[in-house]
Structure 1
Amino acid sequence: MDRNEEMSLAQMRESVEKLGSSTEDYGEKTLMRFLIARSMDPEKAAKMFCQWKKWRAEMVPLGYISASEVADELAAEKFYLQGLSKNGHPVLIVKVNKHFRSNDQVQFKKFVVHLLDKTIASSFKGREIGNEKLIVIADLQNVTYNNADARGIITGFQFLQAYYPERLATCYILHMPQFFVAVWRFVCRFLDKATQEKIRIVTNEEQREQFIREVGEEVLPEEYGGRAKLVLLQDVAV
């Protein structure tokens, strides 16, 4: 960590205290995520950090969302957790053709927290470092208009942006059909520039080969060019 980063961290800690909160239980790598997300502005990072702590206390009072609280979403068997990529990032796959717009938005939001928390937790043993990132693979094979849940996609990305800053390493989108392009353009209105830069839409063989190289054949299922089997999110113990 260079001198400028150390100064920004110190200023952020002071700003958090002025806002009536504390960074005592959080390490430098966790705080740096908030600073990076706010372009190294200590005051903006402090505000974001305090908002995150408040949200976390209200949304996840026990520190976790249990599987029983999101049973309906898990029953769809649409998310898979594959292990670690070449760079050590957990790989989360979503088969979008198994997703349908939820009538219970409270449970859906809890499910987003459940799957993100579990994915991050799968990347380390023991104590969290604070700078763990994840890879998301969104497979749009065989999707229909009934699966095109713009609200759900926006909710997921907004949670990543507001409450899981700098957690997303890369999001790969596979098999995007033509009709979904309009949906995606609408979703992009709600994504900040930093998030959009982490999204890669795989459309040709060269991009597919690069995708396989970057993620790694060891964790990619066979249908995506790897050697692994799909592993349901709920079947992974962390």
Structure 2
Amino acid sequence: MEAASPISVHQQDPHPESSPNPNPNPLKKSFVTSLMEAATLRSPSFREDTYFVSNLKSSERKSLQELKQNLRVSSNEQVSMWGVSLLDGDEKSDVILLKFLRAREFNVEQSLQMLIKCLSWRKDFEADGIVDEELGFKELEGIVAYMQGYDKEGHPVCYNAYGMFKDKEMYEKIFGDEEKLQKFLRWRVQVLERGIKLLHFKPGGINSIIQVIDLKDMPKRELRVASNHILSLFQDNYPEMVARKIFINVPWYFSVLYSMFSPFLTQRTKSKFVIGKEGNVAETLYKFIRPENIPVQYSGLHRPADNLQNSLPKPASEFIVKGGEKVNIQIEGIEAGSTITWDIVVGGWELDYSAEFVPAAEGSYTIAVEKVRRLSASDEAIHNSFTTKAAGKMVLSVDNTASRRRKVAAYRYVVRKSTPN
């Protein structure tokens, strides 16, 4: 058994060092894991458009100008989308027009047809005012589809999980007839429109969102009709609005299907896909999204109650727990009478966790704040606090000595000193 690896942190140091990289001794990969890696690695990373007109090819700039001219000729009134006038000819309108051009590979005629149909749909659907509507889906908010936080590049993130519809009663309640389906589709568009309101529509700015799709327990056969409607709506009316699609909790057969159909997908479409390894939600999401912005059900540190705070979430520090390793996070320099509050999570847990306070005075007894306990893969982040009576340090321990599997983890803390009465 290896000795515990300490991560010593003075309570005023915002950048603690993480544990060293694991020793190179990988286990033999399963067939499914190899397929998933192949599906992910075969596609290069998506390079999002900057929307600077100066960076366009001459043929692309020409297409943009032609689309503007044709739109003016075909429109008898001012046309706008997401609060941006498309006939002003400014950089914001250029961003939107370039999205339609990119979706049709800069074919001006096809791009114009797509744009006109989209404008007509938005008018009929009353999409411009949908964000403020009360549609009555409280039980789905924060579960089925919702905007939460940003990725490391600043893109708003939309989470999607349809596992709750494996319950037949819930499925019938939401999708039982055509009227219910149409109302759900309206709600789903509302969620997307909320995310679009966060975009800049400026060259070099944030002009698209991230989609995280949770495939756990998804009843794919029952949801086929709804899924086709959603896909059609988004493809026809929200071109180039997604920078990346991250699939998590991926069943084994998904990677096989992806490998079969991958040759029929465009390179641009494939480059937006990230297919997470089975059972590695945290490791997949941490690559793109900081832990404090990831919901606790996905091995992050964000809880719905955090939305009630007016300030940005306190940044977390990430670290690695090697297989066969125990890591101690030591938060030092805590003064007497201070209250320390912390959050800690390990992706997939399946290890032992404990917390203790070690007084600085020689001969003092260590206080067991949280006794050693085994945490399962389904457990969410730990959130706790402790008020000290003496100066000392807090030690948070995660013991992975019983496993050979490397895991990603994150923690954060705040120390509030006591104030005299």
1:9 counterpart (36, 59, 64) = 64
Taking a change above 3 Å as real, the CA distance of residues 80 and 17 of structure 1, as seen in their structure-2 partners, is closer
1:63 counterpart (125, 129, 138) = 129
Residue equivalent to 1:175: 249
Structure with higher Rg: it is 2
Residue equivalent to 1:24: 87
Q: Does 1:140 align with 2:215?
A: yes
State whether residues 202 and 208 of structure 1, in contact with CA within 8 Å, keep that contact through their aligned partners in structure 2.
Answer: no
Taking a change above 3 Å as real, the CA distance of residues 170 and 204 of structure 1, as seen in their structure-2 partners, is same
Residue equivalent to 1:102: 175
Q: Which moved more, 1:22-31 or 1:173-182?
A: 173-182
The residue matched to 2:245 in structure 1 has which SS? strand
Q: Which moved more, 1:222-231 or 1:131-140?
A: 222-231
Provide the rounded CA distance (Å) in 1 between the counterparts of 2:72 and 2:183. 33
* Bigger strand share: 2
State whether residues 212 and 225 of structure 1, in contact with CA within 8 Å, keep that contact through their aligned partners in structure 2.
Answer: no
Long gaps (5+) in structure 2: 1-52, 80-85, 166-170, 308-421
Aligned identity (percent) is 20
Provide the rounded CA distance (Å) in 1 between the counterparts of 2:253 and 2:284. 25
Q: Which moved more, 1:111-120 or 1:93-102?
A: 93-102
Q: Does 1:75 align with 2:139?
A: yes
The offset of 1:109, in angstroms, is 2.0
The offset of 1:122, in angstroms, is 3.3
The offset of 1:119, in angstroms, is 1.4
Give the aligned CA root-mean-square deviation in angstroms: 3.4
State whether residues 248 and 284 of structure 2, in contact with CA within 8 Å, keep that contact through their aligned partners in structure 1.
Answer: no
The residue matched to 1:218 in structure 2 has which SS? helix
The offset of 1:205, in angstroms, is 7.1
Q: Across the two proteins, how many residue pairs are aligned to each other?
A: 223
Provide the rounded CA distance (Å) in 2 between the counterparts of 1:226 and 1:161. 30
Query: Deviations for 1:79-127, whole angstroms, at most 9, x for unmatched residues?
Result: 2321111111111112221243613122122112101101121345xxx
State whether residues 65 and 110 of structure 1, in contact with CA within 8 Å, keep that contact through their aligned partners in structure 2.
Answer: no
The offset of 1:39, in angstroms, is 0.6
Residue equivalent to 2:192: 116
Taking structure 2 as the reference length, the TM-score comes to 0.46
The residue matched to 1:122 in structure 2 has which SS? coil
Taking structure 1 as the reference length, the TM-score comes to 0.77
Provide the rounded CA distance (Å) in 1 between the counterparts of 2:255 and 2:219. 12
The residue matched to 2:226 in structure 1 has which SS? helix
Q: Does 1:224 align with 2:279?
A: no
* Bigger helix share: 1
Provide the rounded CA distance (Å) in 2 between the counterparts of 1:168 and 1:232. 26
Long gaps (5+) in structure 1: 234-238
The residue matched to 1:39 in structure 2 has which SS? coil
Residue identity matched to 2:97: L
The residue matched to 2:288 in structure 1 has which SS? helix
Taking a change above 3 Å as real, the CA distance of residues 16 and 93 of structure 1, as seen in their structure-2 partners, is same
